Amino acid sequence: MAYVTPKIKILYAVQATGNGHIARAMQLMPYLEKYGEVDVFLSGSNSNLKAALPVKYRSNGLSLFYGNRGGLDYMKIWKQLDVRQLWKEANQLPVEQYDIVINDFECITSLACKLKQIPSINFGHQASFISPNTPKPLQKDMLGEWVLTHYATATNYIGLHFENYDDFIFSPIIKQQILEATPSNKGHVSVYLSHYSDEVVIAALQKCKDIPFHLFSKKATAIEQKRNITLMPISNDGFASSMIDAAGIITGAGFETPAEALYLGKKLLCLPIKGQYEQLCNAAALEKFRVPIINTIDEHFTATIYKWLSSLAPKPLTLQQSTNEIVGMVMEKGIVRKTAPRTENDFYLLYPDELSFA
């Protein structure tokens, strides 16, 4: 006879560079907590989204910072990098105290597991790039390829992407608010371009005088009207609500927001972050969904927006697996280690079907 053990200890390492990893972690948390006690290691220092998570360990980690014109701020990234501190934190992180270590593209946890020879699962969008079948741009970036495959290595991989490109790659994790929504079109365009300054984006959008925009800004603390632009603070629910009722969404070529826009059947216009190879890979995948990709905000940006809004909607995204199924596969694939001594009757098995939500 096998028993479902409800009190396993789970360490979930979440990358806090940007908002997508945190948004996904908040959606996953109730499902993970069905299996046991979850501690979160939050690594990174430039997310604008409040992490409503059981954070037990916190680190500045290795963060990405952006300039004002759509690219990375390499000088700031370099100044924030402290290799000695990363190594110290990896040695101190008690990964050996957990039954399962889940790593969402976080380098300190990856290093800690290597140093202490602890199995782990690289779970998230970046894990999908281990597969040769995952879409890539025609022009390869060797450094970018190395980062995607070596930045956070693990003993097991479960990837998330727009389509199931391989047998270990599954559907995106979509927020419940989006899953339960009835999309409508109230005429506005939702905009989130964190890799550009507000001034650059506002100047460009105000040229489209007859189009209302919801511009989500990391600097905004309250809703403010600037002619045809409603400047809004970043919030998980606020941005989701805006997308549900939008005529279209303009954003970077990340993963979570484009996936939700495609799921809602919304028109989507993407501007990849310059120099970020993962976004160029995502752009290659999004082009197969008929999503227009542009390189920068320039003098043609206004005409591009009008042309885009008059074009056909992209190919919709279909979820092949539910969040519950995906978390079940993560737990099943994870190497479950018991911290207490085993007995011959202690089978320590997991049955995701028995832990499903009503």
Residue 65 scores a pLDDT above 70? no
pLDDT the model gives residue 191: 97
Residue range 187-224, pLDDT digits in tens: 999 999 988 989 999 999 999 999 999 999 988 889 99
Give the global pTM. 0.84
CATH H-level superfamily of 8-174+320-355: Glycogen Phosphorylase B; (3.40.50.2000)
Q: What was the pLDDT predicted at 147?
A: 83
**176-309 fold:** Rossmann fold (3.40.50)
Q: Where in the chain do CATH 3.40.50.2000 domains reside?
A: 8-174+320-355, 176-309
Query: 87-123: per-residue pLDDT in tens?
Result: 888 999 999 999 999 999 898 999 999 999 999 999 9
Residue 264 has pLDDT above 90, yes or no: yes
Q: What is the pLDDT of residue 83?
A: 74
Higher-confidence residue of 143 and 296: namely 296
Three-state secondary structure of the chain: CCCECCCEEEEEEEECCCCHHHHHHHHHHHHHCCCEEEEEEEECCCCCCCCCCCEEEEECCCCCCECCECEECHHHHHHHCCHHHHHHHHHHCCHHHCCEEEEECCHHHHHHHHHHCCCCEEEECHHHHHCCCCCCCCCCCHHHHHHHHHCCCCCEEEEECCCCCCCCEECCCCCHHHHCCCCCCCCCEEEECCCECHHHHHHHHCCCCCCCEEEEECCCCCCEEECCEEEEECCHHHHHHHHHCCCEEEECCCCHHHHHHHHHCCEEEECCCECCHHHHHHHHHHHCCCCCECCCCCCCHHHHHHHHHCCCCCCCCCCCCCHHHHHHHHHHHCCCCCCCCCCCCCCCECCHHHHCCC
The pLDDT of residue 186: 96
